[in-house]
Amino acid sequence: MNSAIRSSYLTLTRDRSVPIPETPKLQPFPRFFDSTNRNNRFRDVSSGSSLLRTRLRHDSAEFRTALSHRVGVSSKNAQFDSFPDENEAQAPSFAEFITSERVKVVAMLALALALCNADRVVMSVAIVPLSLSNGWSRSFAGIVQSSFLWGYLISPIAGGTLVDYYGGKVVMAWGVALWSLATFLTPWAAETSLWALLAMRALLGIAEGVALPCMNNMVARWFPQTERARAVGIAMAGFQLGSSVGLMLSPILMSQGGIFGPFVIFGLSGFLWVLVWLSATSSTPDRNPQISKYELEYILNERKKSLVENKPKTTKVIPPFRRLLSKLPTWSLIIANAMHSWGFFIFLSWMPIYFNSVYHVDLRQAAWFSAVPWTVMAIMGYIGGLWSDIMIRNGMSVTLTRKIMQSIGFLGPGIALVGLTTAKSPAVASAWLTLAVGLKSFSHSGFLVNLQEIAPQYSGVLHGISNTGGTLAAILGTVGAGFFVELVGSFQGFLLFTSLLYVLAALFYNVFSTGERVNFDEPTHE
């Protein structure tokens, strides 16, 4: 039939310069869709079926929808990547998540936080031989150890402001480089003078004050809201494991390289980390040359929903402190961070002495009894983050999810501390302590993630403000515990007081916190 029509056409147009139309070829099925254009149109099927062609063009959206339910679409198949609606981001599988660029970033952050805590606790081991060689009293040895907190007290707000302005990658690199330098130079400082040693420890605190704000900034830029608690759990697992690694490796390194062996090894490790960090990561996903198209589109689509800003600010350097402090959600974060740090440093500093004085356990064994909970805390922190992300993905509000996590993270340790005071043996006491520290990690999926949500553009400085409150609480709790025990003569009384503070802090957070974005840019009324 086509040949007859073609012969007639040639006869009628023999004397005219009319081009001869070619019969269109039928395209294979997969080529019906143009994978490079999201507004795909069906191609022509035949030259004689214009009505069918129009109908197919009109119903292409319905056809694609029906087809997508029947064809297993791979997220990395360029031929079909235009099928899903761009507003319906599909959650990645576990394999895609664990091999993604964003997990590589948070793994590097976890390593940095591990070095941060390892460099911090080395002095807790080295202080004993240093005190013996220099004739320091216990009170003076406490002053040497507290010099770290002097620097840590002043840097979080300034560091958080720099993070918001320059981004987490640059500030984190400078922070790790400076605290690694301070760690590396500590042996030289100790041999030079006492003031040089105190200065190096203070410099360590100043540099480490930017670590957590940088972590928060990078997680907010790289992870969708439904994955942030998990990411923070991974990063904070490194932070907790750093304590265990530092306490376990320091005696071994000292036996091989002298008192200052750990300082040299950990300092050099920090310099190596900086080189890898600068060469293998980027401040935002869209600047990463190795990220896959699927992962980048997934992160950007999810960010549109949560309205997270992904670029460093280029305008005001000084944040609106007055407006930030005028909102009760800010104070809920400050109180939560203060209570978190109070408990953290009491557990870290006083539990070995508690086991020694209450249960008459050898100090070496007491250190093991008090070290186990930190490993459990690292594991439980990730479990809490995963659970939190699942609840949000299943439709639970962010506000309710954060309050549930924070309640477990504070009420759990509060109850466990009461059990600790009733324990009759060191094994039972260690079990209660492990439960307290493990449940405490759930607060990482509460207030620590919440910092990114109420004001992503000010998450760094908010973390700095709350971290300063936490450092003050850490100093007060660590020093106050000693005075309390001297006055009252009981560790149990101080633990019960801490349990009460946990309950009050949980109530304050549940009443005044929110998972929604807070407008800190509106002027305050006089």
pLDDT one-digit tens code per residue, 277-316: 998 888 888 888 888 888 888 888 877 765 544 444 444 5
Report d(CA 308, CA 456) in Å as an integer.
6
Cα 107–Cα 390–Cα 464 angle in degrees, nearest 5: 50
Predicted confidence (pLDDT) at residue 85 exceeds the cutoff of 50: no
Which of these, 526, 452, 164, lies nearest to 319 by C-alpha position?
164
pLDDT in tens, 187-216: 899 888 889 999 999 999 999 988 888 888
Question: Nearest 5 degrees, angle CA 347-CA 182-CA 125?
Answer: 40
* Residues whose CB falls within 8 Å of the CB of residue 86, separated by 6 or more in sequence, listed in order: 38, 297, 301
Binned at pLDDT 50, 70 and 90, residue 87 comes out as: very low
**pLDDT tier at 271 (50, 70, 90 boundaries)?**
very high
Residue 113: band (very low, low, confident or very high) from pLDDT cuts 50, 70, 90: very high
pLDDT score of 266: 93
The pLDDT value given to residue 404? 96
Q: How confident is the model at residue 41 (pLDDT cuts 50, 70, 90)?
A: very low
- Lowest-pLDDT range, 408-422, 486-500, 512-526? 512-526
Residue 362's pLDDT is 67
pLDDT score recorded for residue 364: 58
Residues 45, 53: contact at Cβ < 8 Å? yes
User: pLDDT-based confidence at 70, cuts 50/70/90?
Assistant: very low
Q: What pTM was estimated for this model as a whole? A: 0.65
What does the pLDDT read at residue 402? Answer: 94
What is the C-alpha to C-alpha distance for residues 177 and 508, in angstroms, rounded to an integer? 38
**Rounded distance between C-alpha atoms, residue 460 and residue 306, angstroms:** 18
DSSP 3-state of 91? coil
Is pLDDT of 94 > 80?
A: no
Tell me, what's the pLDDT at 175? Answer: 93
Q: Is the dihedral of CA 278, 283, 286, 292 positive or negative?
A: positive
pLDDT confidence bin for 430, thresholds 50/70/90:
confident
Q: Distance of alpha carbon 182 from its chain centroid, rounded?
A: 25
What are 434-446's pLDDT values in tens digits?
999 899 999 988 9
pLDDT given for residue 26 in this prediction: 45
Residue 181 has pLDDT above 90, yes or no: yes
Percentage with pLDDT > 90 across the chain: 25
Query: What's the confidence (pLDDT) of residue 346?
Result: 82
Look at residues 242, 244, 515, 235 and name the one whose alpha carbon lies nearest to residue 382: 235
Q: How far is CA 22 from CA 1, 19, 428, in A?
A: 15, 9, 88
The alpha-helical segments, DSSP class H, found in 394-515 are 398-422, 426-440, 447-454, 459-488, 491-512
Opening angle at CA 79, ends 78 and 81, nearest 5:
60
Model confidence over 12-35: pLDDT tens digits? 444 444 444 444 444 444 433 344
Residue 131: the pLDDT is: 77
Domains of the chain: 98-312 (1.20.1250.20), 319-525 (1.20.1250.20)
Q: How confident is the model at residue 38 (pLDDT cuts 50, 70, 90)?
A: very low
pLDDT value, residue 357: 74
Q: What is the mean pLDDT of residues 167-173?
A: 90
Q: Average pLDDT of the chain? A: 77
Cβ atoms within 10 Å of 315's Cβ, excluding its own: 5
CA–CA distance, 139 with 143 (Å, rounded to integer): 7
DSSP alpha helix (H) spans, 15-137:
50-58, 60-68, 94-98, 101-134
* CA–CA dist 14, 8 (Å, integer): 10
Q: Mean per-residue pLDDT for 500-521?
A: 92
Q: Is 21 exposed, middle or buried (0-12, 13-18, 19+ CB in 10 A)?
A: exposed
Radius of gyration over every alpha carbon of the chain, rounded to an integer in angstroms: 30
Q: CA 114 → CA 110, 147, 180, 523, distances in Å?
A: 6, 20, 12, 40
174 pLDDT above the threshold of 50: yes
CB contact at 8 A, 309 and 167: no
At 200 the pLDDT is 92
Sign of torsion over alpha carbons 66, 71, 74, 78 = negative
Q: Burial of 240 by CB count in 10 Å (0-12 exposed, 13-18 middle, 19+ buried)?
A: buried
Band the pLDDT of 109: cuts 50, 70, 90.
very high
Residue 411 has pLDDT above 70, yes or no: yes
Q: Considering the chain, what percentage of its residues have pLDDT values greater than 70?
A: 75
